[in-house]
Amino acid sequence: MVNVDDIRQAAERLKPWANVTPVMTSRTLDERCGASVFLKCENFQRVGAFKFRGAMNALLQLTDEEKSRGVVTHSSGNHAQALALAGKLLGIPACVVMPRTAPAIKRAATEGYGATIVPCEPTQADREANVARLMAERGYTLIHPFDDLRIIAGQGTAAWELIDQAGPLDVVLCPVGGGGLLSGTSIAVKGRSPQSRVIAAEPLLADDAFRSFHSGSIQPTNDAQTIADGLRTSLGPKTFAVIREKVDEIVTVTEAEIVEAMRFVWERMKIIIEPSSAVPVAPVLLGKLPLKGLRVGIIISGGNVDVEPMFQALAARWL
């Protein structure tokens, strides 16, 4: 199990590599919810998402032998790019198994960081078969996107840093997909101040963590097409064990609430966040939690969103 010292050590280990991302505030947001809200802006992290923390923390702990053989993962999202960049920075070959159906832009971004892409069918079975085959054939080490103790510790460094920057917090919110960020965050927050509350936010359309939390066993994702594309996964055994123990509450939000919160942050705070990041902003902005007078942290997970519609409109009007 990961403990708070693992996170402290991960924070030390990441110092030469990860950005110390800024904490941003909004007078309007504070007025709306009557709290002091601190956004930990991992959209400004390398590769545009907190995922770099976990991937880099994992690769830095490999043996020389493991480093020379290389690593493999399955992801079509931010973890793929994070592992690719971490591998490039450390000279470790990185291989990413990605569904053939993944957007070309994600594939290109991952290849741009120097990783090898192995396409697979968009099924759990084919993905796992490909990963197992590559591990056997090439001796790659698996770096799971979330159900890995080194990943959990790495992701927890965002909340650790937030508390260093913002001071003590009464509540910390973060989104939950596979649970890597949430488990790391809860260990960091409770390790620093056991009385602080950790609240996860999840799309109602993909409320498997909410159902798992309340039923006491891991529930499969409903395969829902939520706009929050980073949060479609279900929990893993390692992340669920932490979440059961340390998380206080999971709130769900609708798709319309996610879009409203995302638009608020874009328009009022002038930062680009991806839909998954808007998920924990929504309950704060929309008054769905009793936060009056409290100091509240939100982990903004990333800013990787396709802005093509905006620039298509600008080009059509102006170019």
Q: By CB under 8 A, tell whether 314 contacts a copy of itself.
A: yes
Contact 221, 206 (CB under 8 A): yes
Which residues on neighbouring strands pair with residue 299, listed in sequence order? Answer: 40
Helices 4-14/149-166 angle, 10° precision? 80
Which one among 115, 227, 284, 291 touches a copy of itself, defined by CB under 8 A?
A: 227
Q: By CB under 8 A, tell whether 15 contacts a copy of itself.
A: no
- Please name the helix (run of DSSP H) or strand (run of DSSP E) that holds residue 73, with its range, or none: strand 71-74
133-172 binders of a copy of itself (CB under 8 A):
none
Six-digit token string for 152? 């959990």
Which one among 32, 266, 286, 295 touches a copy of itself, defined by CB under 8 A?
A: 266
82: closest CA among 47, 41, 128? 47
Which residues on neighbouring strands pair with residue 36, listed in sequence order? Answer: 295
Q: C-beta of 310: minimal distance to a copy of itself in Å?
A: 4
276-305 binders of a copy of itself (CB under 8 A):
303
Q: C-beta of 289: minimal distance to a copy of itself in Å?
A: 23
Nearer to a copy of itself, 184 or 302 (CB): 302
How far is the C-alpha of 82 from the C-alpha of 89, rounded, in Å? 11
Which one among 22, 103, 122, 220 touches a copy of itself, defined by CB under 8 A?
A: 22
Nearer to a copy of itself, 240 or 264 (CB): 264
Segment near a copy of itself (CB under 8 A), from 64-72, 115-123, 240-248, 309-317? 309-317
37: closest CA among 303, 305, 289? 289
Q: By CB under 8 A, tell whether 310 contacts a copy of itself.
A: yes
Max CA pair span of the chain: 57
Nearer to a copy of itself, 270 or 292 (CB): 270
Q: By CB under 8 A, tell whether 132 contacts a copy of itself.
A: no
Q: By CB under 8 A, tell whether 118 contacts a copy of itself.
A: no
Q: Map residue 252 onto helix, strand or coil.
A: strand
Q: By CB under 8 A, tell whether 259 contacts a copy of itself.
A: yes
What count of other Cβ atoms lies within 10 Å of the Cβ of residue 44?
18
Instruction: Name, in order, each residue with C-beta under 8 angstroms of 314's C-beta and a sequence gap of 6 or more.
Output: none
Q: Map residue 204 onto helix, strand or coil.
A: helix
How many residues belong to the site for a copy of itself (CB under 8 A)?
31
Interface ranges with a copy of itself (CB under 8 A): 22, 24, 43-44, 48, 227, 255-256, 259, 262-263, 266-267, 269-273, 275, 303, 307, 309-315, 317-319
